[in-house]
Amino acid sequence: MAVRRIDLMLCTGTGCVAGGAFRIKDTIENEITKYGLQNEVSVVITGCNGSCGQGPLMVVQPDGIFYGWLKPEDIPFLVQEHFLKGRPVKRLMFVPLERKEPVPLMSNIPFFQKQMLIVLRNKGIIDPEKIDEYIARDGYTAIEKVLPLMKPDEVIEEIMRSGLRGRGGAGFPTGRKWKVCSDERKFPKYIIGNCDEGDPGAYMDRSLFESDPHSVIEGMTIAAYAIGASRGYIYVRTEYPLAIRRMQIALSQARDYGLLGKKILGSDFDFDVEIREGSGAFVCGEETSLIHSIEGKSPEPRQRPPFPAQIGIWGCPTVINNVETLATVPVIINRGADWFSKIGTATSKGTKIFSLVGKINNTGLIEVPMGIALREIIYEIGGGIPKNKKFKAVQTGGPSGGCIPNNLIGLPIDYESLTKSGSMMGSGGMIVMDEDTCMVDVAKFFIQFTNDESCGKCTACRDGSEALLEVLTRISEGEGKEGDVEFLEELGLAIKDASMCGLGTTLPNPILSTVRYFKDEYEAHIREKQCPARVCKKLIKYYVDPDRCVGCLLCVKTCPVSAIKGELKYIHIIDQSLCTKCGQCLEICPPRIAAVTKLTGKEARELQSLPGPIPVAEWKKTKSASKGDFRFTPYREETDREHRGDNEVP
């Protein structure tokens, strides 16, 4: 391999590819050829860098300069300035919100500073489609150590001592699961890598496949050796075409190198892995459902025990691990259980990958040590909430988890603390919500999801979720009754008790946690028929404030259902009987005018619109003539008075 002066680590995770990363790549290659730099500068395709909010992005090595938000038209200038003349381009660098100066080095960007990369150790550094690059970063050295030097029991012992727990959500100790399976005397045995990542808001497994697929293969091989399995399956969502392709490439390369197949590395150990695609059923993430899916049946879960580690696919002992868990294994083998167990808290060891999404400045994928405070994630890594809004809650654990409110911002992120707060670790989605998020709407959203995805086997889950949804819908439409909240809690607890698999036993969590922390919002919906966050459509009205409207016609033209009446320089009026509450008028109204507002509760009920469009100028005259007694709506009383003052003083 030729040595180049500069390597451009161009991120090609799903996010950056959708943003046009491959167009950027072509443009860079054209430009460097134009200047005859092709022997000095190389473009390296890497997996997800994690800082998805800044994509398409690249890191210039060996200096470590980070460029984000790249567009093809920036490239000629960048190549000329930086790679030809050696002057890094400031305007393409990352600029933190609170500072005006760009931060050139990736290692100095706060988003990366607080992270600790163990599972994602190779992200953005290697080309995931080249096994040699994984090997160059100590890849497959763990399997080299395990096969000749360690007995299966020793491997299990090491993993047990490390304190590694399942990264799929429930947090079962990995070593113990392996032990149960290895004690079974029935053969063949199987190992499954679970990449059926269905949790809304979570995409770490996809990213892992796209950035470092070999780490999963190596971890799986070690697990297979430990439990005595000769065949493995990777169960992955069909929704992830890029991840599947990269994993297929990785598997065939590993076979070519003798790292999969017969007599791996000259030992007596045979092992191979096959990819199985799911097909859009959330419940398949549950291990017994997943087994049924591989067996070609409808993926309904079954009662446990017996656990899959005892009786799994085709009745054979089967270990099912999340792929993030498996990718951690080679590092533990290489660096030792003692080293690993020093990271994290007393009961939660190591690091965890989270996807930080929703109303947060730096969205992306992060890997942090267990026990880190929520505050550090939201404000230091995440850079706070956009548009200076207030942080309201963070939802973890997907539809099985709950919302952690603002006042628990100091909460350490580990398995136990999250469970105690009414949420759970889950697969690692963190959906940040600001003050404009309605918690009843969020709860309704998740119940709708689980109601759709319930397989229908248990009555409590199938019909219970239906009943929960009915009550939540009623509340969000202003038809809620006293006692509804208590009913939700009671039914929620009953569903938890009476369902069989993880989907049913956790589905009430979004309701239970929002009722626990945001009861006042439920009560506002029920008693005042008011949605404090102004989200629930039936409880809000859009309204054009005559005092602010300049009659520019923007909203009139935008309204998809022609519900806004008005002419140029006439005050615009929304016909409430036609309005579908899509909110496009509010978005289009220029911020300096800000005439369109949302009303809720009493304001909305008592809203009286103007009888018909009148000229803006006439409205102003009428207002000053009536000395402000003229009132169309009780809302904005304060503003009315302010405006009256304006009009009186010339």
Q: Tell me if 198 contacts other proteins by CB under 8 A.
A: yes
Q: Which is nearer to other proteins, 280 or 483 (CB)?
A: 280
Residues 22-81 binding other proteins (CB under 8 A) are 52-53, 55
The binding track of 158-197 with respect to other proteins, each residue x by CB under 8 A or -, is ---------------------------------------x
The full DSSP string for 246-297 is: HHHHHHHHHHHTTSSBSSGGGSS--BEEEEEE--S-GGGGSHHHHHHHHTTS
Q: How far apart are CA 414 and CA 352, in angstroms?
A: 9
Q: Quick one: which of 248, 267, 279, 639 contacts other proteins (CB under 8 A)?
A: 279
Of the candidates 310, 266, 265, the one whose C-alpha atom is nearest the C-alpha of residue 291 is 310
For the CB of residue 594, give the shortest distance to other proteins in the complex, in Å. 19
Strand partners, 207: none
Q: How far apart are CA 143 and CA 130, in angstroms?
A: 18
Q: Helix or strand or coil: residue 605?
A: helix
For the CB of residue 189, give the shortest distance to other proteins in the complex, in Å. 13
Strand partners, 526: none
Q: How many CB atoms lie within 10 A of CB 380?
A: 16
Q: Which is nearer to other proteins, 449 or 543 (CB)?
A: 449
Choose the binding region for other proteins from 90-98, 445-453, 549-557, 612-620 (rule: CB under 8 A): 445-453
For the CB of residue 286, give the shortest distance to other proteins in the complex, in Å. 14
Q: Quick one: which of 49, 122, 293, 465 contacts other proteins (CB under 8 A)?
A: 293
For the CB of residue 276, give the shortest distance to other proteins in the complex, in Å. 7
Q: Tell me if 341 contacts other proteins by CB under 8 A.
A: no
Q: Which is nearer to other proteins, 207 or 328 (CB)?
A: 207
Q: Tell me if 433 contacts other proteins by CB under 8 A.
A: yes
Q: Which is nearer to other proteins, 152 or 583 (CB)?
A: 583
The full DSSP string for 95-126 is: --TT-SS-B-BGGGSHHHHT---STTTTTTTS
Q: Quick one: which of 150, 192, 254, 294 contacts other proteins (CB under 8 A)?
A: 294
Residues 364-403 binding other proteins (CB under 8 A) are 364-365, 395
Token digits for 294? 């591989």
Judge whether 43 and 35 are in contact, CB under 8 Å.
Answer: no
Q: Quick one: which of 182, 322, 363, 396 contacts other proteins (CB under 8 A)?
A: 363
What order of strands is seen across the sheet that includes strand 318-322?
A: 272-277, 231-236, 190-195, 318-322
Q: How far apart are CA 408 and CA 414, in angstroms?
A: 14
Choose the binding region for other proteins from 161-169, 326-334, 374-382, 580-588 (rule: CB under 8 A): 580-588
Q: Tell me if 357 contacts other proteins by CB under 8 A.
A: yes
Tell me the CA distances in angstroms from 574 to 69, 242, 567, 600, 616, one per residue in order.
39, 46, 13, 15, 16
The binding track of 4-23 with respect to other proteins, each residue x by CB under 8 A or -, is ----------xx-xxx----
Of the candidates 272, 285, 270, 289, the one whose C-alpha atom is nearest the C-alpha of residue 232 is 272
Q: Which is nearer to other proteins, 140 or 449 (CB)?
A: 449
For the CB of residue 433, give the shortest distance to other proteins in the complex, in Å. 7
Q: Tell me if 297 contacts other proteins by CB under 8 A.
A: yes
Token pair 């039914």 is found at: 491
Strands, E assignment, 377-465? 391-396, 402-405, 429-434
Exposed, middle or buried, 45 (CB in 10 Å: 0-12/13-18/19+)? middle
For the CB of residue 434, give the shortest distance to other proteins in the complex, in Å. 9
CA 156: distance to chain centroid? 32
For the CB of residue 357, give the shortest distance to other proteins in the complex, in Å. 4
DSSP 338: H
When computed from its CA atoms, the radius of gyration of the chain, rounded to whole angstroms, is 29
Number of residues that bind other proteins (CB under 8 A): 61
Q: How far apart are CA 454 and CA 464, in angstroms?
A: 10
Q: Tell me if 281 contacts other proteins by CB under 8 A.
A: yes
Q: Tell me if 324 contacts other proteins by CB under 8 A.
A: no
Give residues in contact with other proteins (CB under 8 A): 14-15, 17-19, 52-53, 55, 197-203, 206, 237-241, 274, 276-282, 293-299, 314, 355-359, 363-365, 395, 429, 431, 433, 437, 442, 445-446, 449, 452-453, 455, 560, 582-584
